[in-house]
Amino acid sequence: MMAEIVPPILMQWNGEAMVPATSRWAKEADRHYVVGQRYRMVEEQERSEVSHRHEFAWLRTAWESLPDNLLDQYPNPEILRKHGLIAKGHCTMTQHVCASVAEAERLAAILRPYDAYAIVRQRGPVVTVYKAVSQSYRAMGAKMFQRSKSDLMEFVGDLLGIDPATLGKVQEAA
């Protein structure tokens, strides 16, 4: 059983206590926290929209320079992004244990077309489905986004044989 992930809840300092910023956030807090229990707070810096847009811009530029032999595997920048995130561990993994190898092969064949962005692997009687985590503002804070962006640059840089730092600079110069 997986633990529920608590979304970031917008709080406001009122001079004496941190309180949910709106009634919507109060309802979220009530859903996830227990009255009287102590929780450790960590400030999370808002993520830069510039950094967010930069990722998608350099990714498109990098995708446009992929060699022809990789275009079947990465037919668009979004698949490249999500597969890169998965390869670098920014993903969820679900395993399905089947009664036989033949059943696992059938299940993998059924699952593959449902999500072009997921990676479905079948090994013996086990089918594993990997899905990239969302990089949306709501799902990822600044620190996690920057880590995933750097990992993605490394993945794409390795594909192209380019230093990851060069990827961002080439796009900025364009």
* pLDDT computed for residue 170 by the predictor: 56
Task: Give 170's Cβ-side CA count (13 Å radius).
Answer: 16
Distance of CA 2 to the CA centre of its chain: 18
pLDDT by position in tens, the chain (length 174): 455 667 778 888 888 888 888 888 889 888 888 888 888 887 666 666 777 788 888 899 999 989 999 999 999 999 999 999 999 999 999 999 999 999 999 999 999 999 989 999 999 999 999 999 999 877 888 888 889 999 999 999 999 988 877 766 655 554
Q: What is the pTM of this model?
A: 0.69
Helix (H) or strand (E) holding 24: helix 23-32
Contact 25, 34 (CB under 8 A): no
SS3 category, 12 = strand
> Using CA atoms, how far apart are residues 102 and 83, in angstroms rounded to an integer?
26
* Residue ranges per structural domain of the chain: 1-43, 49-173
Burial (CB count <10 Å: 0-12, 13-18, 19+), residue 102:
exposed
Residue 28: partners with Cβ closer than 8 Å, 6 or more residues away: 7, 9, 20
* pLDDT computed for residue 63 by the predictor: 93
* pLDDT computed for residue 40 by the predictor: 82
* pLDDT computed for residue 1 by the predictor: 46
> Using CA atoms, how far apart are residues 143 and 66, in angstroms rounded to an integer?
28
